Amino acid sequence: MKRKINEKILLYKIKTKKDPEAFGQLYDLYIEKIYRFIYFKVNSKEESEDLTSAVFLKVWSYLIEHKEKEVDSFSGLVYKIARNIVIDFYRSKAVHKEYPIDILEEIGEDDHNLYKIEMNQEVEKIMKDIKKLKYEYQEVITLKYVDDLEVSKIAEILDRSQTNIRVIMHRAIKKLKSFQENNK
Amino acid sequence: MSREIIEKIKQMKNYNGQINPDQVWIAKNREQMMTQIKNTVPEIKPKFNFKMVWQAIGIFIPNKIVYNVVRPLVVFILVGTLTTSGWIASVSATQNSLPGELGYSVKRATEKTQVVVASIISTEEVEAQIHMDLASKRAKEIKQVVVENKNNFIKNAQVAMVDLEKSIQTAEKKIKSVGETKPEKVLEVSKNVTEKAKEIKENLKNVEVQNNEIDINKVQKITNEISIGTVELVVKKKEEGKVIISEEEVKKLVSDQIESISSDANIVQQKAEIVVDQIVAVESLQTTSTTEVATSGLSMLENTVSTKSLVEGTSKTVADNIQQTEKSLTEAKTLVENNHLLEAIQKVKEVTQVNQEIAQAVKETQKAVIEVQSQINQQNLIVNTTTNIGSTIPVSTTTNIGSTTLVSTTIKIEEKN
């Protein structure tokens, strides 16, 4: 609750006074989450960094240029913009024929795009399994368990109902379980 | 097993590496971003507007509620407050204005609004009190107007006098209605009425002292009527068992009325004595005059009085009536002591009536005397002629008190010895 009010105060300062410091504080709160969110989709550190920077600049522009539009929550806004930026990224890649457009649906099943990362073997396994899931399942799982967002917030970001999100969560976990059992 | 999976997923964010951003990069990126966004911020600070208020409220309340409920409500309250405060500001500025002044119409308009609102939302006893309050205000205004003695003050005072009359008449109607519909409220109303009536009479008394051109008799009459009438109503309702009041309290109410009328009678007596003195003064003016009546040039001289008969007539009649008044009031007091309150009130009413008539007669006599006085003075200034001795010219002024002729008016030019 306190964090929520703090975010609202910072948002108020940005919209009314164009306070860069207030935006800086919001950047500090969300930078890691947005980076992880993007990284799960693009699997590239450099691309993730570039896209994450772009997300925050775009959020700032949106807040300044659309003062009349009400922003209920900063997290909803920043995740939506991040999602759109990733989609735009893949569209532009598809245009240049670097990645097919349907990669958005299939990227989780393509092991060749995964980079090796230094982490615990178990975690690595689970990451691989997550990548096998449907794109929407991945989003929900990472937003819920990695970024610790509430179901209502996830529903807002993905523009779905809360019931739908819970169903996806349940199915995603079930799928991961089946992957684990198959691995054994 | 689900829990294990969930736990493993949660652990992902605790690992360094590409899944989590590099802290150096975070800091560097922040610096670059801040530089960029600071360039987009204008130097001029944005001015305050009401949108900021809603946004601020939106910190604590969901925006939907802010814009669909809070904002309309606040706007409604603000508009109402601004309108009312603007009204109050203009009203308060005009509260001290007097008849004939610029803000007086605003003052009267706001009072009328008050009356209208009271007629809708208030009870009749409250309305009666409001009208008596307004009447008292009018009396104060009249007094002030006369004291200040500005242009057209007589006309302005008379305008206020008319309003005063109307207020008292309206109050009287309301009180009658209260007596019929809510007799238990009559006592409460009577206290306000008698208090305000006293204030009105006090202010009007001062008015007459300042300027006797303004006729206050009619207003005094209705003020007395409402005061006595309300007390009578209390007594009647007490006897019907509809009003709870102690014997002492109700006797006091009636005694206060007796005292009030007694005081009025004394004032009338004093006025009569003043008039007699004025008549004597006129007589001395006449007897020292060396002018003559020239019918061709001085036809305005028509109202010279026979002073001797006037003095005698005035003094005797007034004295008789005052004596009668005193006797009646004494009888009234006795009736009160013996608990015959309604009869006492009846006596008070009779005395009031007589008092009123004497006051009217004295006033008219005084007018006549003043007129004569001024014409004699005028005559002395412009004419230096010899007097036609023995000629008489009929006069117009006669005044009756009851069945007695107070003033016999004849013009008689007497030979100066």
The reply to whether A74 and A132 lie within a common domain is no
What is the count of structural domains for chain B?
A: 3
Alpha carbon distance B363, B119 (integer Å): 39
The reply to whether B296 and B380 lie within a common domain is yes
Tens-digit pLDDT profile for residues A82-102: 989 998 888 887 655 444 444
- Domain annotation covers residue A109: no
User: Residue B290 is part of which domain span?
Assistant: 247-417
Q: Return the pLDDT at B308.
A: 54
Q: Return the pLDDT at B398.
A: 43
Indicate which of B1, B10, B13, B64 best probes the interface with A, i.e. most A CBs within 10 Å of its own CB.
B13
The reply to whether A65 and A125 lie within a common domain is no
The reply to whether B326 and B386 lie within a common domain is yes
The reply to whether A82 and A125 lie within a common domain is no
> In angstroms, what separates the C-alpha of A172 from chain B's closest C-alpha?
10
Q: Is the pLDDT of residue A162 over 90?
A: yes
The residue type at B13: K
The reply to whether B233 and B254 lie within a common domain is no
CATH number of the domain to which A18 belongs: 1.10.1740.10
The reply to whether B72 and B144 lie within a common domain is no
Judge whether B56 is closer than 8 Å to chain A, CB to CB. Answer: yes
The residue type at A158: L
Per-residue pLDDT of chain B (417 residues; tens, 9 = 90+): 678 888 888 877 776 556 788 888 899 999 999 988 888 776 655 566 667 777 777 777 777 777 778 778 877 787 777 666 666 666 566 778 888 887 888 888 888 888 887 776 678 888 888 999 999 999 999 888 888 887 888 888 888 889 999 999 999 999 998 888 888 888 888 888 989 999 998 888 877 766 667 778 888 889 999 999 999 999 999 888 888 888 888 899 999 999 988 888 888 888 888 877 877 777 676 655 544 443 333 334 444 445 556 556 666 666 777 778 888 888 999 999 988 999 999 999 988 888 888 888 777 777 777 777 777 777 766 554 444 444 444 444 444 433 333 343 443 434 444
Alpha carbon distance B194, B171 (integer Å): 12
Indicate which of B37, B43, B66 best probes the interface with A, i.e. most A CBs within 10 Å of its own CB.
B37
Beta strands B392-394; B400-401: pairing state? unpaired
Q: Is the pLDDT of residue A27 over 90?
A: yes
**Chain B neighbours among A 42-71 (CB < 8 Å)?**
45, 48-49, 52-53, 56-57, 60-61, 64, 67-68, 70
**CA proximity to B166, closest of B205, B115, B101:** B115
Per the listing, tokens 């689900």 go with B2
- Domain annotation covers residue B25: no
Tens-digit pLDDT profile for residues A107-150: 444 443 444 444 467 777 888 888 888 888 888 988 898 888 88
pLDDT class for A164, splitting at 50, 70, 90? very high
Q: Return the pLDDT at B381.
A: 65
What is the count of structural domains for chain A?
A: 2
Tens-digit pLDDT profile for residues A46-77: 899 999 999 999 999 998 887 767 777 888 88
The reply to whether B86 and B128 lie within a common domain is no
Q: How far apart are the first and last CA of chain A?
A: 43
Across the interface, whether the CB atoms of B9 and A17 are under 8 A apart is answered no
Q: Return the pLDDT at B316.
A: 67
The reply to whether B199 and B331 lie within a common domain is no
Contact list in A for residue B67 (CB cut-off 8 A) is 70
Q: Is the pLDDT of residue A31 over 90?
A: yes
The reply to whether A87 and A155 lie within a common domain is no
For residue B3, what are its two tokens? 């829990």
- Domain annotation covers residue A111: no
User: Residue A161 is part of which domain span?
Assistant: 116-184
The reply to whether B293 and B363 lie within a common domain is yes
Alpha carbon distance A29, B10 (integer Å): 18
Judge whether A152 is closer than 8 Å to chain B, CB to CB. Answer: no
- Domain annotation covers residue A40: yes
The reply to whether B149 and B170 lie within a common domain is yes
DSSP letter for B416, please. Answer: P
- Domain annotation covers residue A80: yes
Classified as helix, coil or strand, B392 is strand
The reply to whether B176 and B62 lie within a common domain is no
Q: For residue A165, how many C-alpha atoms fall within 13 Å in the half-sphere facing its CB?
A: 21
Alpha carbon distance B292, B286 (integer Å): 11
**Chain B neighbours among A 73-112 (CB < 8 Å)?**
none
